[in-house]
């Protein structure tokens, strides 16, 4: 999504940003692009990162793709997202 498109969305972009990041991170994960996956999740504002990370975990395939053979990428990062949600009372 271009900068102009995000500006047109105004404040509603904040509501969707974490979803776009989680979805994009899943695609990077499926293609073994772990650096890009981490950059996408880290680019979300800190107050929305727990949502992005928890959604990423939720949407993560139950078994890794045959190309990478991983079940869970960077479990510490994923657990941080869940812990942050739990501590905020969102879960």
Question: Residue 21 pLDDT > 60, yes or no?
Answer: yes
Query: What integer is the mean pLDDT of 15-28?
Result: 90
Domain limits, the chain: 10-88
Task: Kindly report, residue by residue over 23-74, the tens digit of the pLDDT.
Answer: 999 999 999 999 999 999 999 988 888 889 888 888 887 654 444 444 455 5
Extract the runs of DSSP E, i.e. beta strands, from 1-91.
none
pLDDT of amino acid 62: 64
The alpha carbon dihedral of 36, 33, 15, 48 has a sign of negative
| pTM score of the predicted model | 0.63
**Is residue 39 within 8 Å of residue 21, measured between CB atoms?**
no
pLDDT of amino acid 81: 63
pLDDT of amino acid 66: 43
pLDDT of amino acid 69: 46
């Amino acid at each position: 999504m271009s900068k102009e498109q995000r500006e047109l969305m105004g404040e509603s972009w904040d509501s969707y940003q974490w979803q776009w990041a989680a979805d994009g991170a899943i695609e990077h994960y499926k293609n073994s692009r772990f650096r890009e996956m981490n950059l996408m999740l880290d680019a979300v504002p800190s107050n929305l990162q727990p949502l992005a990370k928890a959604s990423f975990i939720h949407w993560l395939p139950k078994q890794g793709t045959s190309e990478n053979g991983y079940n869970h990428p960077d479990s510490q990062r994923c657990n941080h997202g869940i812990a942050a949600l739990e501590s905020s009372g969102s879960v």
